[in-house]
Structure 1
Amino acid sequence: MKTYHFIIKGEVQGVGYRITAYMNATRLGVNGTVKNLSNDNVEVFAQGDENLIDNFRKYLKMGSSMSRVDEIEENVLDRAKFEDFKVIY
């Protein structure tokens, strides 16, 4: 299973972006993590089959109702399996 690493740029901190990503990931069955970075971006690791990741990617682009996503960097990594999806504080 592939692990996807996303860096989300824009107005994505303090606007409910992480909890929205968490809710969408758990609803879709995507495992991984989401956390704020010190440079005002958000980092997401996501694992799931290709269809789930395609759907999750769409939600990452939409963000929360108060966020603004300007850009998403994406890489595919070889990484240990995640058991669930967590918000990292």
Structure 2
Amino acid sequence: MAAARFLVEGKVQGVFFRASTREQALRLGLRGIARNLADGRVEVVAAGADDAIEALARWLQHGPPAARVDTVQREDFDAAAVAAAGFTTG
């Protein structure tokens, strides 16, 4: 099992980015959270199968139709650190 933290920058707040990320993550069988940060970015923390994390990483490069993603930073870590069940938005 893998886990990653993504920081997504661009026009990513107010465009259903978190809700769309949650839908995508649940389709992929991931658990974690997507939340808005005060600086305008969206933070996504996800845990699950390696291939599902990679699929989410690819999806985050563009996000939902109304979003404009400029950059995505990724940090991999131990999946045990993600305690959430399911996938939530904060």
Scaled by the length of structure 2, the TM-score of the pair is: 0.91
Q: Structure 2: which 5+ runs fail to align? A: none
For 2:31 and 2:9, locate their aligned partners in 1 and report how far apart those are by CA, in whole Å.
21
Answer yes or no: is 1:63 the counterpart of 2:63.
yes
For 1:67 and 1:14, locate their aligned partners in 2 and report how far apart those are by CA, in whole Å.
9
CA deviations 1:7-50 (Å, max 9, x no partner) are 00000000111111010001110110000000000001000111
User: Structure 1 residue runs of 4+, over 6 Å off?
Assistant: none
Aligned identity (percent) is: 32
**Counterpart amino acid of 2:87?**
F
Contact 1:47–1:82 (CA under 8 A) maintained in structure 2 = no
* Number of residue pairs the alignment of both structures matches: 88
Q: Structure 1: which 5+ runs fail to align? A: none
Q: CA deviation at 1:82?
A: 2.9
Q: CA deviation at 1:80?
A: 4.0
